[in-house]
Amino acid sequence: MNLLFATSEAVPLAKTGGLADVAGALPKALAQHRADARVILPKYEEIPSSYLEKFERLAEFTVNFSWRNQYCGLLRGEIDGTVYYLIDNEFYFKRRGLYGYGDDAERFVFFCFAVMEAARYFDFRPDIVHCHDWQTGLIPFLLRTRYAHDPAWSGVKSVFTIHNLKYQGLFGIELLKDLLGAGDELFGSDGLEFHGAASCMKGGLVYADKLTTVSETYAKEIQGWEHGELLDALLRYRSGDLSGIVNGIDEELFDPMNDAALHTPYRNSLARKRKNKADLQQEMGLPVSEETPLIGIVTRLVEQKGFDLIAAKLESMMKEDLQFVVLGSGERRYEELMNEIAGRYPHKAAVWLGYNDRLARRIYAGSDMYLMPSRFEPCGLSQLLALRYRSVPIVRETGGLKDTVQSYNEFTGEGNGFSFTYYNADDYWYTVQRALAMYRDPQTWKRIVANGAKEDHSWNRSAKAYIALYDQLLSHRRGNEPWPVIS
């Protein structure tokens, strides 16, 4: 089957978050199942020249949307066996950063139209266009409206993946009408209208043939009011077309046996892992101690990631015999708090504000435990990377964290981490203390680490689930009638 991934970011070309990891890794995994999966994204200024050198120009054409007529270049390149297409328009995409501009609505409406027009110049014909998050949510909408009878898209089906329902691409109705050249008939409650605004994500949720999200638990959570972001009624209506498929990780890219950032390569040896712990302690200015449990965090310092819980029990944590290493950036109040704690407890806490890929890998490898008490987490990749590097996760039971981390049961010996259900500081702190107690029993700790090592968190398992979904979609081809919806 031929698959076109439409995305606003993909590794190794451009990345701001987990979406890029999925869009870069999943096509490679699908190729192992004889699928031709290709990726199309904007040609951003920040794409490294070393990669741009691999691209050739396929075509130049004009994209007409509403009254606008914009130049578009289409480039093609192959990186690590995956074919990438770039949509080139310097007016929209030759800027620092990927998002956050006042004309983001126009930029990504253009991108969606450009993808539709680019199909005329591809050197392959997609069976399915797989769209990701709000930036590409209008592609399923266009496929069923403006391009419903276009020969270039005849018979093509669509899949829309929700990576984080919180970010919906909400804009003024009049603005989106102007950009799409559409009338009132497409902006009712059964179209793009959303509580007085217009939603790009709703375009995907209403018009795509199949919907997916990045874990089974998150697929259930977003059908309820707490995590549904006011779209829960629509998602319940489309529950028969909605499935949760947990993300994987690229096990070649993240391999403690072949990671240049590490002091000592290892697989399952805790003795060799702890050489990396000693090296991390030394680099971060902490006392070198094999016996002292080291808790790592690599994340955005925001409330979604549970930092209000961490903050509430930080003083209690500093009274324990432990060490704490944090890498990340985010809300100013949490950045200041982390710096303050590191200043007051220099022998227990170390903080690096910002992001550093080398240090992130060293924290995964050097930490005994990995802390991720998120308020909500559609999937989460960090807990999977922690398991890959044999660091035991401490998580809240939400979204993909619930699907991938099973709390250790001392009676059965099962479980690969520690978890708590209710989002409150006392349950969080009890779970951390339980993990610390288990660490002090070497045989128990070896068992927990070994449990995590048995599991397959590669993209191979996820790719099989996507292939099954694609097969189901292609064996039940539907017409071009729009889906009825409940607002």
Residue-wise pLDDT tens digits, 360-385: 999 999 999 999 999 999 999 999 99
3-state secondary structure of 352: strand
State how far the Cα of 127 lies from the Cα of 157, in Å rounded to an integer: 6
pLDDT at 189: 84
Beta-ladder partners of 351:
326
pLDDT at 253: 87
pTM, 2 dp: 0.91
Query: Could you tell me which residue, 196 or 476, shows the higher pLDDT?
Result: 196
pLDDT band for 476, please (50, 70, 90 cuts): low
Percentage above 70 pLDDT, the chain = 98
pLDDT at 434: 98
Residue-wise pLDDT tens digits, 257-278: 999 999 999 999 999 999 999 9
State how far the Cα of 40 lies from the Cα of 31, in Å rounded to an integer: 16
- Over 70: is that where the pLDDT of 53 sits? yes
pLDDT at 485: 37
State how far the Cα of 48 lies from the Cα of 390, in Å rounded to an integer: 32
Q: Tokens at residue 439, please?
A: 């660490």
Mean pLDDT within 195-204 = 95
Residue-wise pLDDT tens digits, 141-186: 999 999 999 999 999 999 999 999 999 999 999 999 999 998 888 8
Mean pLDDT within 468-474 = 95
Residue-wise pLDDT tens digits, 76-123: 999 999 999 999 999 999 999 999 999 999 999 999 999 999 999 999
Residues 416 and 394 sit within 8 Å (Cβ to Cβ): no
DSSP 303: G
2-248+461-475: CATH number: 3.40.50.2000
Closest of 351, 370, 368, 362 to residue 285, by C-alpha: 351
3-state secondary structure of 372: strand
Mean pLDDT within 210-215 = 97
**Strand 68-79 to strand 55-65: parallel, antiparallel, or no bridges (unpaired)?**
antiparallel
What is the DSSP track for 427-483?
HHHHHHHHHHHHHTSHHHHHHHHHHHHTS--BHHHHHHHHHHHHHHHHHS---SPPP
pLDDT at 477: 57
pLDDT at 415: 98
Q: What is the mean pLDDT of the chain?
A: 95
Q: Tokens at residue 474, please?
A: 């292609």
pLDDT at 280: 98
pLDDT band for 405, please (50, 70, 90 cuts): very high
State how far the Cα of 377 lies from the Cα of 215, in Å rounded to an integer: 9
Closest of 102, 168, 107 to residue 134, by C-alpha: 168
Closest of 193, 15, 181, 14 to residue 109, by C-alpha: 181
Q: Tokens at residue 147, please?
A: 């391009």
pLDDT at 478: 47
CB within 8 A of 5, min separation 6: which ones?
A: 23, 26, 27, 37, 38, 39, 40, 130, 132
Query: Could you tell me which residue, 182 or 202, shows the higher pLDDT?
Result: 202
pLDDT at 97: 92
Mean pLDDT within 323-331 = 96
Q: How many residues does the chain have?
A: 487
User: Scanning the structure block, which residue is given the tokens 């991934």?
Assistant: 5
Task: Report residue 238: phi and psi, to 5°.
Answer: -100, 20
Mean pLDDT within 420-442 = 97
State how far the Cα of 20 lies from the Cα of 159, in Å rounded to an integer: 17
pLDDT band for 17, please (50, 70, 90 cuts): confident
Question: What are the distances in angstroms from CA 261 to CA 7, 193, 397?
Answer: 29, 48, 31
Q: Is 365 exposed, middle or buried (0-12, 13-18, 19+ CB in 10 A)?
A: buried
Q: Taking the domains of the chain in order of start, what are their residue ranges?
A: 2-248+461-475, 270-456
3-state secondary structure of 373: coil
Q: Tokens at residue 369, please?
A: 């435990």
pLDDT band for 18, please (50, 70, 90 cuts): confident
Query: Could you tell me which residue, 386 or 476, shows the higher pLDDT?
Result: 386
pLDDT at 480: 43
Mean pLDDT within 286-291 = 97
Percentage above 90 pLDDT, the chain = 92
For residue 71, which amino acid is it?
Y
Residues 55 and 75 sit within 8 Å (Cβ to Cβ): yes
Could you give the strand order of the β-sheet that contains 197-199, starting from the edge strand earlier in sequence?
Answer: 170-171, 197-199, 193-194
CB within 8 A of 358, min separation 6: which ones?
A: 261
Tell me, yes or no, if the two domains 2-248+461-475 and 270-456 fold the same way. yes
CATH superfamily of 270-456: Glycogen Phosphorylase B; (3.40.50.2000)
